[in-house]
Each structure stands twice: as C-alpha cells, then as structure tokens.
Structure 1
Amino acid sequence: MRKLALTATVAAFGLGLAAPAFAQDGPPPARDDATFTGPRVGVILGYDKLQPGSGPNSSISSDRKADGLTYGGDFGYDVAVNRFVIGAEGEITGSTGDVSNAPTSAAALGYGRVKQGRDLYAGVRVGYVVAPKTLIYAKGGYTNDRLDLTANNGTTTTGAHYNLDGYRVGAGVEQKIGRTTYAKLEYRYSNYGDARLEYANGGNTNNFSIDTDRHQVVAGLGVRF
C-alpha cells in the first residue's frame, strides 16, 4: 500500500512538470502589434480643399478655394515592435477640386482657372497600438501636386500645368476589420512652397515661391499581406 501511494505521488509530480511543457507546444499568444506588420495596399476617398496660404506676402484672398473629392490608392510597409509601429508609405491620387471662374481672373488661387490634377506622396508614419485591433498614428513626408491651368492674357487662352512641391503632415486611426482587411480615417495638411510652370512643348520655368495650403479628410480600406 505504501508503495502504491509513493508511485501515485511520483506520477502526479511528473504530470505537473510535463503540463507546462505541453502548453508551450501550442501556438504563442497573439501580440497586440502583430496585426499591423507587413506590406499593405488600399484605396482612399475623401474631402479635398486647396486654397492660398495666409502668409504676410500673400495678395490672394484665402477664401478662394478649389474643393472637391480626392480619390486614389495607397501602399506601404509597416514594422511593429512592442506596440510601436513604424512604416513607409506612398500614394497616387486625383481630385475633382477646381475653381471655375473666368480664366482672366487673377484672384483664382493666383494661377487663373485651376483644376486639381494628380498628386504624388511619399513619407513615413509612426503609430502606437492602443488595442489589439486599433492603431493611432502620425505621418509626414513629401508631396507633389499638379494643377491644370487655363489662363488668358486678354487675347489668347492657353492651357498648361503647374507642378507644386511641398510637405504633408497628418494623423489618423486604423482599425482591423477582418483577417487581413482594415479601415482607416485620417486628416492631412499639405503646404506647397515651390512651383514651376510646364508648357505644352515640354519646357518649364524655374521654381518660384508660393504659399498654397491643402486640407484633406479621407477614409480608406485596405488589405495587409
């Protein structure tokens, strides 16, 4: 009887030691930051407003604006460590924003009749995982915008393009909504400080200084691989 009790005690002790080992063989617990790691691609849509800046050297009224919808796609790659996320991203977008006043008007953003063209953006974002499926982030980088211009010197109407160079900053929130899908909402501010006029024959002017502001509120849907 004493031998049987000793054998049962040893067996129970052995099972107690083995249990943690068996538990370790299962899948590791989910990490809060794992959801936001890897390459991603998505689409964006939102409100877009371009207007003259309010700098002391601006002679164009800041209530002159070209507003409409911005639309396009974005892509990026994120790395997450200890709930912090850092990544690189890019965008290619268009816009319906325009100013439809007469092409002889010098008050239309300072450019004449203006329609928004394509916009290119490249930058980085840094975020923090506040919940297993929720990321808040800030972003910043370089943006290049094209404006389609119709101008009139009093006798001749011509078309051309302005290329605007500047910076963009913003902030947003990203939410995982499926196994690989996510949604996001963000605000972005861009300021363009340099511009050049591109002629139809391919020539262009030297860069000149401007002060043009852009405000956008966009929503996005994407897939992470």
Structure 2
Amino acid sequence: MNRTLVCLAALACSAAAAHAADLPVKATRPVVAPPLSWTGFYAGVQGGYEWGRDRTTEFNLGGPPTGFSHGFRPSGGFGGVHVGYNHQFDRLVVGIEGDVDIGRTRDDFSLGSGFAFNARKDWEASVRGRLGVTPIDRLLLYVTGGVAFTELKYHWESVVPLVTPVDANIAKTGWTVGAGGEAALTSRVTARLEYRYSDFGTTRFDWPSVLGTYEQHPRFQSVRGGVSVRF
C-alpha cells in the first residue's frame, strides 16, 4: 500500500511539472520614457562674444561729404538673460522669446592729425519669434528673428585745445536674425548654441567744433551659448 501511495504522489508531481512547463512565459516589457514636449514657458541665462563692422563717414555740417571715411571693428564679450514660450505641433515648434545682453563692445582709433575716435555699445535687447523642428526627440533646430534695441555711444576728440570734444549717445531700433540648436539635458533643463546678426541702420551726429557731421552704419554678429529651465 505504501509503495502504491508513493508511486501515485510521484506521478502527480510529474504531471504538475509538465503542465507548468507548457504555460506561456510572460515577457517583461522595458520601461520607455514618454516623448519630450517642448511646449511651455522657460527662462535662462546666456553669454558669448560679439564683433561688428562699422564705418564713420564725415560730411560738412549740413552739406556734402568731405571725403574722409574710416572703418572700425568693435568687439567684446557679453552676458544676459532670456525668457520665452514654445508650442509644439508634432515635429514643428513655434515660439516667442525676449532677451537682454550686457557687455561692452568697442573699438578705438587715432588719426595722425591729432584726432581720436571711440565707439561702443554697452547693451542690446531683442524680442523675436522662433521657428524650429525636432529631428529627434530631445533636439530642437531653429531659426529666429525680430526687433532689436540698443544705445550706441560715439566720442570724438582732438589734441587742439580750442576744439571741444563731442559725445553722442544714440538709442536705436533695428532688426536681428539668427539660427541655433537646443538640446534637452533633462526633462526641464536645456542647453543651446546660437548665432545672431543685428543691424541698426544708419546713425548721424554733428560735431559743431569742426563743422562736421559723422555717419555710421553699425552691424553686429555674435555667437552665444545658454542654459534654460522649463516650467
């Protein structure tokens, strides 16, 4: 009897094992992070280097050019802040952004006749639209453009004692365009690299001591990097 019970128990165990082996194995699915959305507000900081091309042309006060013209190339570093909003439509991202940069961009030159000239720009701000695409989930490639604001400062002086120096501080509104790339480091933090070109038209100011008028056409280029935090 005992031998029969042992045999029956062994057969039952074998049948249970065979049935378990026939059951399908449930595969473990990998955890996939949800796709990143660029929609939302953000703010951040940026910094970079700027260089420009300009030319001062002299005119007789109230009259034609004198024939004197001199080119100069202001340059310098800057830093600032930005704030903006993006909205994503599938792979297309549309946004608006404002920024302010502070930093001295300047150039100086002297003439053999005893005249010295200085030009500088201490800040620049802009309000721009942005249009981009996301070729991969965490990378945004974009173009940007809009209105730019600054104050241009010019100074002429002479070694001649009777010639009074002249200073001109000229507030200007111009335009700016650029392109860049932005990568998501985390779900909230992004890093960017951007190129910009800004044009502020033509400026003019008078130097009554020498009966002259001086005209400039300031244009600036910059390369900037930045970090943003998304809200």
Is structure 2 residue 180 aligned with structure 1 residue 172?
yes
Q: What is the rounded CA distance, in whole Å, between the counterparts of 1:193 and 1:129 in structure 2?
A: 34
Identity %: 26
Is structure 2 residue 225 aligned with structure 1 residue 219?
yes
* Residue of structure 1 equivalent to 2:100: 92
Q: What is the rounded CA distance, in whole Å, between the counterparts of 1:191 and 1:177 in structure 2?
A: 33
Q: What is the rounded CA distance, in whole Å, between the counterparts of 1:121 and 1:196 in structure 2?
A: 23
* Residue of structure 2 equivalent to 1:118: 123
Q: CA RMSD in A?
A: 2.9
Q: What is the rounded CA distance, in whole Å, between the counterparts of 1:29 and 1:45 in structure 2?
A: 32
Aligned counterparts, 1:111-150, within 5 A: 112-150=117-155
* CA deviation vs aligned residue, 1:145-183 (integer Å, no higher than 9, x gap): 212332336522343412222111100000011231110
Is structure 2 residue 36 aligned with structure 1 residue 50?
no
Q: What is the rounded CA distance, in whole Å, between the counterparts of 1:49 and 1:92 in structure 2?
A: 17
Q: What is the rounded CA distance, in whole Å, between the counterparts of 2:203 and 2:138 in structure 1?
A: 41
* Residue of structure 1 equivalent to 2:208: none
Instruction: Identify the match of residue 68 of structure 1 among 69, 76, 81.
Output: 76
Deviation at 1:52, TM superposition (A): 1.7
* Residue of structure 2 equivalent to 1:80: 88
* Residue of structure 2 equivalent to 1:189: 197
* Residue of structure 2 equivalent to 1:37: 39
Deviation at 1:101, TM superposition (A): 3.0
Question: Does the 8 A contact of 1:165 with 1:192 survive in 2?
Answer: yes
> AA paired with 1:192?
F
When Rg is computed on C-alpha atoms for both structures, the one with the higher figure is 2
SS at match of 2:218: strand
Deviation at 1:51, TM superposition (A): 1.3
Q: What is the rounded CA distance, in whole Å, between the counterparts of 2:39 and 2:204 in structure 1?
A: 39
Q: What is the rounded CA distance, in whole Å, between the counterparts of 2:70 and 2:221 in structure 1?
A: 17
Q: Which runs of 5+ in 2 are unaligned?
A: 1-31, 56-64, 206-213
SS at match of 1:101: strand
Q: What is the rounded CA distance, in whole Å, between the counterparts of 1:100 and 1:210 in structure 2?
A: 14
